[in-house]
Amino acid sequence: MQWRALVLGLVLLRLGLHGVLWLVFGLGPSMGFYQRFPLSFGFQRLRGSDGLASARSGAAGQQGTPGGPSWLQPLVVGAAAGGPQAPRRPSPGVCGPAPWGYALGSWDCGPDEYEKRYSGAFPPQLRAQMRDLARGMFVFGYDNYMAHAFPQDELNPIHCRGRGPDRGDPSNLNINDVLGNYSLTLVDALDTLAIMGNSSEFQKAVKLVINTVSFDKDSTVQVFEATIRVLGSLLSAHRIITDSKQPFGDMTIKDYDNELLHMAHDLAVRLLPAFENTKTGIPYPRVNLKTGVPPDSNNETCTAGAGSLLVEFGILSRLLGDSTFEWVARRAVKALWNLRSNDTGLLGNVVNIQTGHWVGKQSGLGAGLDSFYEYLLKSYILFGEKEDLQMFNAAYQSIQNYLRRGREACNEGEGDPPLYVNVNMFSGQLMNTWIDSLQAFFPGLQVLIGDVEDAICLHAFYYAIWKRYGALPERYNWQLQAPDVLFYPLRPELVESTYLLYQATKNPFYLHVGMDILQSLEKYTKVKCGYATLHHVIDKSKEDRMESFFLSETCKYLYLLFDEENPIHKSGTRYMFTTEGHVLSVDKRLRESPWKEFFSEDEEQEQQGKFVHRPKSQELKVINSSSNCNRVPDERRYSLPLKSIYMRQIDQMVGLV
Ligand code: DMJ
């Protein structure tokens, strides 16, 4: 008897609660946002031309959210009935009644706290203060590395010690893929010193690298990591030293005899065995710098690792006049490209280099694929090879067709705000409900192709996650509104996108974002001798590791964000950043390639048949935005990058409010 009364009581209580919710907010039973959210991401985006729109409309009809409103529609009363006359609560952006104001913050007309916080001007003194804070962050990390870790690869910032390869445990890839016993952090930091105008330290550091760093080491490293962190940095510093204009101050080196270029060559030659004895042309993931590909080598590699070598290898080839490096890197890109799904045009994240079978069928923007897309575009920007742009455009189109979910417009309209999800490369079906922190680079890439509006939108999502934790968790589950993987190793991607979006829009919003990021880095990651990886973004416990990209990318982009007067923003030269943040001047001499004959006309034709062409104007945009930094902002269009109401939606989406 008693338990029946208890159950009845609970039922009545629940009904009463729903009644109150219904009366006050118009929320029906079981309408928690987190329950609807995954459902509402089941539909395809309706966008684009070329006949895809109708196909996607069909998909939307089938897979949409019948009876399950998109996440903006919890406000719709009786949405399940779907009646056009169903009474609606005012949509966000419309002045709301008092209860909304109390429930969700002031949504009434006039500036709310979001607008007040983000749309205000950013005073020049504050800007200078933030620039100095970013420089100080770099200097603190760099000086401590030099004092406590050099000539080892990395700094352990908590115990003020150096770190090299884990010789005791060769399977410790997290360490051994990156640390080659070649003073990694010093090498990776070279061009940041130049960009910050520190010529004496740049000159000292270059000499130190020339005199002390050797690649003749019994180290088994990942080809990708050695390429982007070491090869890319050597090439960037070499270009800075030999630049006749010297925009960053006097960065010349007395009696410089192209030593850094020779070192880059030496390293690349040691990486070449990765491209031998592979049936597909896709390289082995790792090589030993002394002995080549280890006998027990893994035949599986990730797409980004194998397919993002073309920028560094291409520059090396063009500077040396030796086609070998570009040829192997380009062959790998093409081999991967040819393995894309015929139906979706998507690539997976892990492939067998001998069989060409996809071991990882997940397609997304993050780990395993990120820089593959990035380097298709950046290779085109640097070298002007049309086929790189064609591949990029086709890849971008597939991304839009299959990865982008949510509504068409960023700031307004029915349905969920857009988000890029992880799908099966063959079916386009959702594979999981997380996004990773590496994906935060994508808005920056969108800036380069001129898709600024979408970039603004996506960036806001990552920023909201940052605000919630004061960092980006390695993986964030948008269904659970919680991190899936909790560490944050001081990654640069969000800062990179923030910087590029600021250059594209000149909106002070991005300076506020940068200040937020700077302050949380100072608060949560600064330790005795540097900046430490966050082990857990919630309890803020730390790991004793400062990855080299913190100095080469995170600090650099933060500094550049606030350094309006930087030569990169002022000089007539156009610059581009590698995936490791190394600056490269876009020089028309790099566009000369005397080795076209390596790719037969037939092969090119065959490739082109598969490409989806974007409109001409889009191609022009790429060329115009070949500088990351010199874009003329369209003040009218982007005077307010995000409606403050949108920021609030996104904050809710990640569980921030
Ligand atoms: C860096 O080494 C590069 O940015 C790379 O493209 C991705 N991973 C790290 C930073 O997160």
Closest C-alpha to ligand 1, atom 6: 579
C-beta neighbour count of 95 within 10 angstroms: 11
Q: Which atom in ligand 1 lies closest to the alpha carbon of residue 304? A: 6
- Measured in Å, residue 616 CA sits from the centre of ligand 1 at 31
CA-based nearest residue to 486, from 548, 539, 562, 546 = 539
Per-residue pLDDT, 641: 63
- When pLDDT is cut at 50, 70 and 90, the band that residue 655 belongs to is confident
pLDDT at residue 306 greater than cutoff 70: yes
Helices of type H across 399-470: 442-449, 452-469
Using pLDDT thresholds of 50, 70 and 90, give the confidence band for residue 13: low
DSSP notation for 508-530 = THHHHHHHHHHHHHHHHHEETTE
* Ligand 1 center from residue 86 Cα (angstroms): 49
Give the residue-averaged pLDDT of 14-24.
46
Given a cut of 50, whether residue 37 has pLDDT beyond it is: no
Query: Alpha-carbon distance 556 to 567, whole Å?
Result: 14
Give the model's confidence band at 15: pLDDT under 50 very low, under 70 low, under 90 confident, else very high.
Answer: low
* Three-state SS annotation for 255-296: CCCCHHHHHHHHHHHHHHHHHCCCCCCCCCCEEECCCECCCC
86-90, 358-362, 377-381, 405-409: least confident range: 86-90
Q: Take atom 1 of ligand 1 and give the residue whose Cα is closest.
A: 580
Question: Is a pLDDT exceeding 70 seen at residue 108?
Answer: no
Instruction: Measure 607 CA to ligand 1 centroid, in angstroms.
Output: 29
Query: Is the predicted pLDDT of residue 150 greater than 90, yes or no?
Result: yes
Residue 409 confidence (pLDDT) = 85
Q: Which of 579, 582, 583 to mutate to test the pocket of ligand 1 (most atoms within 8 A of CB)?
A: 579
Q: From CA 259, how far away is CA 203, in angstroms rounded?
A: 13
Q: Which residue has the higher pLDDT, 653 or 215?
A: 215
Point out the residues that are catalytic: 225, 370, 474, 493
Question: What percentage of the chain exceeds 70 in pLDDT?
Answer: 75
Report the C-alpha gap between 213 and 463 in whole angstroms. Answer: 38
Say what the pLDDT of residue 131 is: 98
* Cis preceding linkage at 151, omega within 30: yes
State pLDDT tens for residues 457-508: 999 999 999 999 999 999 999 999 999 999 999 999 999 999 999 999 999 9
Least trusted range by pLDDT, from 364-373, 590-599, 622-631 = 622-631
pLDDT at position 43 over 50:
no
Question: Residues in the chain, how many?
Answer: 657
Q: What confidence category does residue 609 fall into, taking pLDDT thresholds of 50, 70 and 90?
A: very low
Conformational region of residue 450, where left means phi above 0, alpha means psi within -120 to 50, and beta covers everything else: left
Query: pLDDT at residue 564 above 70?
Result: yes
Report the mean per-residue pLDDT for the chain: 81
Each residue's pLDDT tens digit, 54-101: 222 222 223 333 333 232 232 222 223 233 232 222 233 322 322 222
pLDDT at 340 over 70: yes
Q: What is the mean pLDDT of residues 35-54?
A: 30
Beta bridge partners of 88: 76
As to burial, measured by CB atoms within 10 angstroms (0-12 exposed, 13-18 middle, 19+ buried), residue 155 is: buried
Q: Which atom of ligand 1 is nearest to the CA of 228?
A: 2
Contact 184, 233 (CB under 8 A): no
Q: State the pLDDT at residue 46.
A: 32
If pLDDT is split at 50, 70 and 90, which confidence band does 16 have?
A: low
The minimum-distance atom of ligand 1 relative to the CA of 579 is: 6
- More confident of the two residues 11 and 311: 311
| pTM summary value | 0.81
Pocket of ligand 1 (CB under 6 A): 228, 371, 438, 491-493, 549, 553, 579-580
Detail the residues annotated as belonging to a binding site for Ca(2+). 579
Cα–Cα distance measured from residue 222 to residue 191, given in angstroms and rounded to the nearest whole number: 22
Mean pLDDT to the nearest integer, 256-269: 98
Residue 570 clears pLDDT 90, i.e. is over it: no
Distance (angstroms) between ligand 1 centre and the Cα of 196 equals 21
Rg of the Cα trace of the chain? 26
Q: Is 132 exposed, middle or buried (0-12, 13-18, 19+ CB in 10 A)?
A: middle
Which protein residue has the closest C-alpha to ligand 1 atom 2?
580
What does the pLDDT read at residue 112? Answer: 63
